[in-house]
Structure 1
């Protein structure tokens, strides 16, 4: 009995020693700094069914639990790492600087979706394959067949030339073009040939189509009513082909594969009906104006480079383009503050307010609609023609300037300036009366609404505008009180002859009254001597 008791006491004694050893070891580990991957606290000693679990067993159970939970975390981390690798690959491989044919941002589309989406013909990969363009696709194949029969070339010549330019052409489009190599090359050849046939046929008032072999009653390749819709679609930003592809295809047709510049010249002639300038000046007085300027500011497409037809058309509108000399402090400030402030897009006051300050409006005789001048209280603005295609034209030009960072914002500056001038139907009516605006939309209210919608969601920096210095001079003249008082006096008393006669009579009576008062007082204080 004593042996059993001593044996039982010995077991409890050994267990107490083991527990004491475990506690000492735990205190020693807790006093040491933890390292990554090492637990800061030792696993507690647990008892299960009256039997102790040593720390090594607890660590094994924890490792088993961690092994079960690890796959869920690792899959999540692996997914994140794959996305980061994809972003890094895109950062290296995507040629951001080479983009020139963009998708119009969603913020701009909200104003008028139809102005950016072609309705009759699709050019390039963005709108290729849509159902509404299937009828026009048949005419594209007719154009390619006509070119091959006229030149005697095999189609493989054009396919090989386009394939050699495929990588360079793909780099011009923003975003990933989900087309195979064969499909992309086919679009370049088919659409490019169609565009060139239109360019070449539209010269000479439509006689070019007959010279190319098309019938005078052809539904597409003739100067018919559908041509205006085709021109309007082909000037859209999302409906473009790289200019170097068109140059190569035209060079193969005429036997000069390395030529450049001819397509730009043909494009300017083709899109001439969309010009928002005075046609009489373009055809009659342009040579006289250029000769008076020395001819150094004329636009020569053979000497200029362009990305696509919209870019060429924009360059032809601006010629060399407005080249102001900004002040140094403006340049420094514009480099510091790169984010445009929408509150500073108000360049000047509207026509009605400027007239109240005595500012006069005159039509400036030039075909450069953007070339606005101000001197001695007179604002001279060239004539602007507004038709049903003007809105789409300006919107796509603005979209290109918004997307292409290295492009000047001259068209955007002009449109915002005119939007500030035109605030109501009365403003449009007065500009039409002065010969500055000629519109074919129906009424002046539609013109005012057009300009007010052109500038929606447009990001613009006032300091980058070539009209900023002119606007400041107009505002200084407007804020001068003497100008406002003089204009008010002229408007109130010199607006019609009866008001002028009344003013003269009132002044005459005032002079007589003053004279009578003077002589009465003079006779009182200095009576005549007797």
Structure 2
């Protein structure tokens, strides 16, 4: 019988042949001089010699099909297919690893462990930017307004759309490398998305800074004149998964101004646009706003963010919060874990005690007059915390800032440190009420309980290294003051007997009565031992 084997069986056939040659070299021959094992090419007696037939696919025709096939099945390992499949997976993983440029990654998908708290805080509800949420059904309604923006830009600048497409195609590969994982869009689709989304973002930035009327939009425009929807658009555009690379926006804005040297101008426009989301009630002063707006007419502008570079609008916003930001001062809280490469421990995120406990230890809380919401100070038993404004967009803002710090290795953990610090301070609505009484927290939420729940949920799944916090030294000083017993006793005395005027009067009356009683007792005893003559 004759059988035709494929490539895979050919390899096994060659291996078998090699084994037989090895065995023949080691096994003695018969007296007649013939080998005990014959090669398959040598036909046995009574069998017909078969010639090999050429074919496009590699094929081999051998004799004794049934016997050889049975031998092949016996020598083949039962785990052969499994090992082959693992090899193919490793090869595919190697190709994907080589294709990915991890060093350029800057726009991340929020990890699943962070999404468990509130997935809505990371997913846009009105407008999508970039490939992660591109084409979703509920976000398609904004696409018509994007095309309207692009048409108005082309008409206002009197330029050809091909100019924008070609400019973005030059940086397509660099832009793709900013996103995580494969992007299932063709080259034309990706370039079209970047141009469409980028021009839409720039129109919003310029409209807020210069005025939409100046750009040619009517007063009753459904997007650019509706104040209610603008807040929701701002909240969507600050999300980590909804970002565009800053260099793409720089390139598109340079084309609109016919000047490629526009680095830093987009960052300035972004700061003006996202100013209402600042977590402080100290907005940009009029002089600062005028300075930024006046720079729009300059060919070259100076931006303090350009020396550090910017990844995207969320990164620019974070850098603006920490423009003169804190420098971490790590402290070794656990001496036995003094190794340099410590792993962040989820069990040790307690930086400081809550407000109620601090008050019981005699620590006072006061509002610090500064626009730097992170700048906390402690001196002589007084903890000074800057004023913090809480609104309905604060939760999403802080969650996306924390996600950026968790994902991007070049980011510090300053925002995370501050949020965990506030989470430690606030354990109950009573803590929020006292902070509000001190002027430290101003919120637009329903109740103090909502504010307490907000901070208690922000860092539920965040892993944080207490030794790498810029507030670690301050927390250590506060805890040292808290652990001093005399401070606790003095605070208890003041709270119980000096908390109001009537308590002070009662204490004073009790002290006077006690003194009079002691005086009377003294004179009674003195008269007994030293009677008058």
Band of TM-score, shorter chain: 0.7 to 0.9
Aligned length: 467
> Residues of 1 paired with 2:173 and 2:287: CA distance?
44
Q: Which moved more, 1:87-96 or 1:233-242?
A: 87-96
Relative to the length of structure 2, the TM-score reads: 0.82
Is residue 2:264 matched to residue 1:261?
yes
- Residues 321-349 of structure 1 show CA distances to partners (whole Å, capped at 9, x for unaligned) of 11144358999967634321111101111
Residue 364 (structure 2) aligned to one of 357, 360, 366: 360
Q: Is the 8 A contact 1:124 1:240 kept in 2?
A: yes
Q: Is the 8 A contact 2:264 2:303 kept in 1?
A: no
- Measured after TM superposition, the shift of residue 64 of structure 1 is 5.0
Residue 408 (structure 2) aligned to one of 404, 408, 416: 404
CA RMSD of the aligned region, Å? 2.9
Residue 114 (structure 2) aligned to one of 98, 108, 111: 108
Gaps of 5+ in 1: 1-34, 40-54, 288-297
Is residue 2:240 matched to residue 1:234?
no
Is residue 2:70 matched to residue 1:68?
no
> Residues of 1 paired with 2:93 and 2:490: CA distance?
64
Is residue 2:278 matched to residue 1:272?
no
Q: Match of 1:486? A: 490
Residue 508 (structure 1) aligned to one of 503, 512, 524: 512
Q: Match of 2:6? A: none
Q: Match of 1:244? A: 247
* Secondary structure class of the residue paired with 1:362: strand
> Residues of 1 paired with 2:37 and 2:181: CA distance?
57
> Residues of 2 paired with 1:518 and 1:332: CA distance?
60
The structure carrying a bigger helix percent of its residues is 1
Is residue 2:440 matched to residue 1:436?
yes
- Measured after TM superposition, the shift of residue 407 of structure 1 is 0.7
Q: Match of 2:10? A: none
Q: Judging changes above 3 Å, is the alpha-carbon distance between structure 1 residues 329 and 480 closer, same or farther for their aligned structure 2 residues?
A: closer
Q: Match of 2:160? A: 154
> Residues of 1 paired with 2:215 and 2:470: CA distance?
44
Q: Match of 1:129? A: 135
Q: Match of 1:77? A: 83
Is residue 2:212 matched to residue 1:209?
yes
Q: Match of 2:285? A: 283
- Measured after TM superposition, the shift of residue 135 of structure 1 is 1.3
> Residues of 2 paired with 1:432 and 1:466: CA distance?
25
- Measured after TM superposition, the shift of residue 231 of structure 1 is 0.3
Q: Is the 8 A contact 1:162 1:185 kept in 2?
A: yes
Q: Match of 1:293? A: none
Q: Match of 1:379? A: 383
* Secondary structure class of the residue paired with 1:361: strand
Q: Judging changes above 3 Å, is the alpha-carbon distance between structure 1 residues 139 and 372 closer, same or farther for their aligned structure 2 residues?
A: same
Q: Match of 1:119? A: 125
Q: Judging changes above 3 Å, is the alpha-carbon distance between structure 1 residues 328 and 62 closer, same or farther for their aligned structure 2 residues?
A: farther
> Residues of 1 paired with 2:347 and 2:431: CA distance?
22
- Residues 422-474 of structure 1 show CA distances to partners (whole Å, capped at 9, x for unaligned) of 10011101101111100001211100111111111011110111111111111
- Residues 96-116 of structure 1 show CA distances to partners (whole Å, capped at 9, x for unaligned) of 121110000011111111100
> Residues of 1 paired with 2:100 and 2:324: CA distance?
31
- Residues 365-387 of structure 1 show CA distances to partners (whole Å, capped at 9, x for unaligned) of 11111101011111101111111
* Secondary structure class of the residue paired with 1:241: coil
Q: Is the 8 A contact 1:262 1:302 kept in 2?
A: no
> Residues of 2 paired with 1:454 and 1:345: CA distance?
13
- Measured after TM superposition, the shift of residue 72 of structure 1 is 6.0
- Measured after TM superposition, the shift of residue 126 of structure 1 is 0.3
Relative to the length of structure 1, the TM-score reads: 0.83
Matches within 5 A, 1:317-332: 317-326=321-330
Residue 223 (structure 2) aligned to one of 220, 225, 236: 220
* Secondary structure class of the residue paired with 1:316: helix
* Secondary structure class of the residue paired with 2:217: coil
Q: Which moved more, 1:421-430 or 1:338-347?
A: 338-347
- Measured after TM superposition, the shift of residue 85 of structure 1 is 1.7
- Measured after TM superposition, the shift of residue 518 of structure 1 is 2.1
Q: Match of 1:467? A: 471
- Measured after TM superposition, the shift of residue 90 of structure 1 is 2.9
Q: Is the 8 A contact 2:330 2:469 kept in 1?
A: no
Is residue 2:339 matched to residue 1:343?
no
Gaps of 5+ in 2: 1-18, 24-35, 39-63, 290-301
Q: Judging changes above 3 Å, is the alpha-carbon distance between structure 1 residues 238 and 331 closer, same or farther for their aligned structure 2 residues?
A: farther
Q: Which moved more, 1:154-163 or 1:518-527?
A: 518-527
- Measured after TM superposition, the shift of residue 317 of structure 1 is 1.1
Q: Judging changes above 3 Å, is the alpha-carbon distance between structure 1 residues 244 and 424 closer, same or farther for their aligned structure 2 residues?
A: same
> Residues of 2 paired with 1:471 and 1:429: CA distance?
22
Q: Is the 8 A contact 1:334 1:464 kept in 2?
A: no
Is residue 2:468 matched to residue 1:477?
no
Q: Judging changes above 3 Å, is the alpha-carbon distance between structure 1 residues 356 and 328 closer, same or farther for their aligned structure 2 residues?
A: closer
- Measured after TM superposition, the shift of residue 505 of structure 1 is 0.9
If you compute each CA radius of gyration, which structure gives the higher value, 1 or 2?
A: 1
